[in-house]
Amino acid sequence: MRISISDLGAKNDGIFNNAKIIQEAINQVAQAGGGRVIIPAGGIYLSGSIEIKAHVDFHLENGATLRASSNYDDYTSEHNIKNLTNGEVDEFVLPQRAFIVGFKAHNARISGDGIIDGNADNFIAERGQYIHKMRGPVGGRDQYLERPFAIFMIECKNLTIRDITIKDPAFWALRTTGCNELLIDGIRILTDLMVPNADGVDIDRCQNVRIVNCEFVTADDCISLKSCSQTAQYGDVANVIISNCIMTSTSGAITLGTESVGDIKNVLVTNCIVKDSHRGFAVRAREGGTISNVRFANSLVQTRTFSDMWWGHGEALHVTAFSWDDPAKGTDGNIERTYEGFVRDITFENISCVTEAGILNYAAHPQLIDGVTYRNIDVKVKKLSKWDARVDLRPNGIEQVLHRKHNAFEIVNTSNLTMENCTLTWDSSSRATYGEAIFNQGSENFKNTGFTESTSVN
């Protein structure tokens, strides 16, 4: 079955709220057993929240634009995440709104060459020099807890998201929770680089995931793998392939962890390009979970430092393990934030880096990070920004930021770290602003073979 929303009276004037019409088209196709709902080319279709159903291909034609309403009242209570999932997902530390949402929408697709516009510009309360302040509803909670996800799909088996562009999300662009056999292929996510929390793709407790052939220009992490505290029923993050992607971020290109109550394991990242980003590839264990069996390979990474309003400090590769909050002080969020995270068996190989802040490995104590390998890593260290050096350990309730020189390879409280055939080239014009080639403190069983160091003259 195929239905174009224009056949049901939808208006492409960018003013009329088409949510009821779009939902009726989705419902009709779902009741018929499946098919395609078409957002046609031409004009702008404004809408409040809508729900994707099982076996529905939600298709945006080339030239189509579906824009999220900036009126908080247009995100209806039936699409509130807690209500939609009958209380199965009840997160008090994250928003409950989403523009496009799905729950148990098995075999659904979101496809086409059109644009899903999150309308972030109309959620901005105050434009900042380095980061914007966003608007929440009158009488609502903090704006972080109110802005809508652009797309949030929950417990949708065999979900495919292909070819679309997600533009200017007001919060995370695409979140999937408990979606197994997930394919994200050929999409573009383009955000305002000063909108806080404007992540690209957030994978929460999904298994058997492929993110391939995508382009990301995002304010916050381009891709983030998470195992959030209120979604434990969906298990760990496992068996994830990320390949052939191009990424730019005011924060991090790929981040594993931060929200990592459950485990994150069996992850392969390959053939990716990171450019002009605050952080490259990051493994950031917190909240009691273990991140293990991860390979980053065959990639190009270029990073620089931005304002300290954004997490990161310009490092190309990053492995840290701490508690999010100081256990001695307690937490105003999840109790898990007082638990330390663990890292096991991480490999970086065949990666070429141009970086302002080198490579960071840092744990609260040696038992947290065990087994990191850097093989055939080519690192060029050069001052690229106006910002003073800082080692950013956030989120870390005990010591967030260290204000001192960067070292090219920093290894603190890390067990069984191995460097094989790594090369370091300092930029001569900025060498004096850096510390040591290899800084090793409190680490156990560090091995280094085939390391070379030189200074370039530009």
Residue 362 lies in a domain: yes
Residue 270 lies in a domain: yes
Question: Which pair of structure tokens corresponds to residue 319?
Answer: 């492995």
Q: What does the alpha-carbon distance between residue 115 and residue 305 come to, in Å, rounded to a whole number?
A: 31
DSSP string, 342-372: EEEEEEEEEEEEEESS-EEEEESSTTSEEEE
3-state secondary structure of 244: coil
Residue 178 lies in a domain: no
Residue 384 lies in a domain: yes
Q: Which residue has the tokens 């409280």?
A: 413
In order of 10, 279, 305, 357, the CA distances from 385 in angstroms are 48, 14, 6, 11
Domain range enclosing 414: 230-458
Q: What is the pTM of this model?
A: 0.98
Question: Which pair of structure tokens corresponds to residue 46?
Answer: 């404004």
Q: What is the pLDDT of residue 334?
A: 87
Q: What is the pLDDT of residue 457?
A: 74
Domain count, the chain: 1
Q: What is the pLDDT of residue 333?
A: 79
Q: What is the pLDDT of residue 458?
A: 65
Q: What does the alpha-carbon distance between residue 149 and residue 162 come to, in Å, rounded to a whole number?
A: 18
Q: For the stretch 264-283, what's the b/e string if a residue is b when 16 or more beta carbons lie within 10 angstroms of its beta carbon?
A: bbbbebbebebbebbbbbbb
Residue 103 lies in a domain: no
Cβ atoms within 10 Å of 233's Cβ, excluding its own: 11
Residue 144 lies in a domain: no
Say how many residues make up the chain.
458
Residue 133 lies in a domain: no
Run means of pLDDT, 10 residues per run, the chain, 458 residues? 98 98 98 98 98 98 98 97 96 94 98 98 97 94 94 98 98 98 98 98 98 98 97 98 98 96 98 98 98 98 96 96 95 91 98 98 97 98 95 95 97 98 97 97 97 90
CB 194 within 8 A of CB 130: yes
Q: What does the alpha-carbon distance between residue 132 and residue 307 come to, in Å, rounded to a whole number?
A: 13
Q: Measuring CA to CA, which residue among 372, 376, 318 is closest to residue 350?
A: 376
Residue 169 lies in a domain: no
